[in-house]
Amino acid sequence: MEMLDEITGLMQEMIRNKCINPPGNEMKSIRTVEQFLSSYGIESEIFESAPDRGNLLAVMEGGGDHPSLMLGPAHVDVVPVENEKDWLVPPFDGTIKDGVIWGRGSLDMLYIVACQTVVFAKLHQEGFKPKGNLKLCIVADEESGGNYGANWLIQNHPEKMKVDYLITEAGGDHIGPHRITYVYGEKGKAWTRLSFRGEESHGSAPFKSKNAVVKMAKAIQRISEYQPPRNTSLLKPFIKAMGIGTVTRALMGNTRTLGFMLEQLSKRSMGDAVFLNTMTQMTISPNVCEGGAKINIVPGQAMVDVDVRTLPGQDMEYVFAQFRKALGNLVDDVKIEGAPVDIGGRFHPGNISEMESPLVRIMESVVRNLRGQEMTLVPMVSPGATDSRFFRRAFGTNVYGFSIHDGSLGTGEIMAMFHGTDERVPLETLELTSKGYMEIVRKFLG
Ligand SMILES: [Zn+2]
């Protein structure tokens, strides 16, 4: 069968499996992948991290001490659909229409699961002998933190997961006609809780009262207006690869003029300004607040949970110091701490792989073969987190988010489809991505 038919067949089955996380129940799609591989005579190992939470590993042994490569971790869990009626097609049917496959999870990230699985099977079929180990790793639970997926595998089977290089989700977007992104790093997550104490008293007599909600409101105002220090070390290689003129580049690369440049850019393209800003600073977004018990009581307590994303190298100490600075003379009334673990508050630092490496050079040459010699790869650090961080932390793996989109959808459109409505992938993207992966593996391990 043609690669494309096999890829769409796998995707349709996985979309219909509805591995919505929570609870996940990923074993269904893990069995889909296992059966597909076994139809090629490939044995894979299944790991059950909890009932119905499945993970899969298949290995093609390489000899010698050549660096190893993993396809994946590729996750089969998907996020829920809020309102099925908003979709143009039903989200769990696996509809193929007008050269596009639709469905929840199609883009995040079942198309990569399917492309990587089929490429692995085809290489096996043709008797490919990798110089270093080639691994295929399909996982559960990326959408809820990876503790039943990638993180669990690394904790419980480190020797099996250890790998020098890997290719996983994100990247491959076209920005401009001749540029495609790859993701070599991601920001950290430092969710923070600010708590405020006041004094409860009668709401009918507020003169000089110590109102915790009022303190919180002032604090929210200050932290949302605060400008954390800027750092352009991640931005510079990005705008250079974008081919931006030297003057603009110099102004954007300078922390004193960057703010002004982002301001200007936001008037033309808000999305670009928002994204570039994430690459240059710790971001602070106060998103959930609570305070007060009853309308006739001056509140004695209030708190706000703040979504904080850090650059690589910034730790919790740095984050708290920034909050103290932002709060100024309000600081004595505020308790600053990490958000509780049960709401996902565990800190994980920003992390990056080598921006330039033998694998990146191969990725670029493969894109040129497929899309034309004028293509360049643009190095990007993503504001959100994936399973990549576990591998960087455990083994120092060079992790890259990479696939090849066909360019028919804009980067903004693609971004909106992650966890969004009408999630879909053009079949042309499946062709390019699978051919791309095939060539990358052949060049890297052949
Ligand atoms: Zn994903």
pLDDT reported for residue 344: 84
Asked if 149 and 140 count as a contact pair (C-beta separation under 8 A), the reply is: yes
Tell me, in angstroms, the distance from the centre of ligand 1 to residue 345's CA.
20
pLDDT reported for residue 272: 87
Tell me, in angstroms, the distance from the centre of ligand 1 to residue 247's CA.
37
pLDDT reported for residue 63: 80
Can you tell me whether residue 406 is helix, strand or coil?
Answer: coil
- Reported as a single tens digit per residue, the pLDDT across 131-154 is 999 999 999 999 999 999 999 999
Tell me, in angstroms, the distance from the centre of ligand 1 to residue 108's CA.
4
Tell me, in angstroms, the distance from the centre of ligand 1 to residue 370's CA.
25
Tell me, in angstroms, the distance from the centre of ligand 1 to residue 411's CA.
16
Tell me, in angstroms, the distance from the centre of ligand 1 to residue 109's CA.
5
Tell me, in angstroms, the distance from the centre of ligand 1 to residue 252's CA.
30
pLDDT averaged per 10 residues in sequence order, the chain, 446 residues: 93 98 97 98 98 98 92 98 95 97 98 98 97 98 95 98 97 90 97 97 97 97 98 95 92 96 94 93 97 97 97 97 97 96 91 98 98 96 94 98 93 86 97 98 98
pLDDT reported for residue 176: 82
Tell me, in angstroms, the distance from the centre of ligand 1 to residue 168's CA.
9
Tell me, in angstroms, the distance from the centre of ligand 1 to residue 418's CA.
8
State both tokens at 217: 């409101």
Angle between the N-to-C axes of helices 246-253 and 255-268, in degrees from 0 to 180, rounded to the nearest 10: 120
Tell me, in angstroms, the distance from the centre of ligand 1 to residue 408's CA.
21
| Global pTM value | 0.93
d(CA 208, CA 244): 56
pLDDT reported for residue 1: 65
Dihedral angle, C-alpha 84, 426, 175, 438, nearest 10 °: 130
pLDDT reported for residue 343: 87
